[in-house]
Amino acid sequence: MATKKQTPTVRLRRLAAELRRLRAAAELSREEVTERTGINTATLYRIETAKTRPQARTLKALLDLYDADDEQRQHLVTLSKEATKQGWLRPYHSDLPEEYTAYISFEAEASSVRNYESLFIPGLLQTEAYARAVIAGVLPNATRQDIEDRVQARIERQQLLTQDDPLKLWAIVDEAALRRAVGGPSVMRAQLAHLVDIATLPHLTLQVITFESGAHTGMPGSFVLMDFPDPLDTDLIYIDSMAGDLFLEADADVRRFSSIFDNLRATAASPDDSTKLMARLANDRE
């Protein structure tokens, strides 16, 4: 039976970033680190890209080589010990795809999320009936239990919007997602009504890109931008596509997708006009 890969966490990404920074400050290449410590270059690459957590002796060797001070050592050793802790996972989530559990963990530790969706209602805003219908439609070969596990995970994720320190969400949705009759007229009527109600939350901004807007920068596909409260944690981009799930964190990618999102905000109808459109669409399904 294959061993499940290390699911990335915010802490693991932070540890990787700090070790990259220390190596750069020491002006050492990965090859030079290998020569001086005996740590395999491939292993070092996996550590620095948050694909694996370093063993205690490996971390010590790196910190010795980089001449880390006591405060840095204590911080990074603690970070390494906590690197595998998921920010928000339930026992049954072990049966969910690795990429999805990684996304759940990142989302739970984010301070704000910018989400553009071209075909679906954003997961954090879906009703249970809509979520069940869309998951069953997208995954026709999934078992009933698989579907229920995903629905439960999706509904539990929504607690991020109602907790004491709620997640800030800016969601932009193409009108096509509002008009597609996922689950039938009654399911969509309830879903649209839910959007109208939840749009009143002070930490939620919801906009719609209407058909009248014509071609726009979001047409190539949906994406999520996550920002984290600690400045050491770089912004993260998540893309879900037919080709698979993809996480991006390079500065150039963050700038590009941030620019795309800003363009979409300018293209979309205002939050007030968007709410009126959703209310009208809900009434049309009466």
Residues 105 and 217 in one domain: yes
Picking from 37, 57, 82, the residue at the C-terminal end of a domain is 82
Domain of residue 40, CATH code: 1.10.260.40
pLDDT in tens, 64-77: 999 999 988 988 88
Domain encompassing residue 215? 91-284
- pTM of the entire predicted model: 0.78
Q: Does the residue 154 lie in any domain?
A: yes
Q: Does the residue 4 lie in any domain?
A: no
pLDDT in tens, 44-55: 998 988 888 899
Confidence of residue 94 (pLDDT cuts 50, 70, 90): low
Which backbone phi and psi does 227 adopt, to 5 degrees? -110, 145
Q: What was the pLDDT predicted at 106? A: 85
Q: What was the pLDDT predicted at 22? A: 92
Domain of residue 131, CATH code: 3.30.870
Query: How many Cβ atoms are within 10 Å of 37's Cβ, its own excluded?
Result: 16
Q: What was the pLDDT predicted at 84? A: 63
Q: Does the residue 28 lie in any domain?
A: yes
Say yes or no to pLDDT of 12 above 60.
Answer: yes
b/e burial code for range 225-243 (CB count within 10 A of at least 16 → b): bbbbeeeebbbbbbbbeee
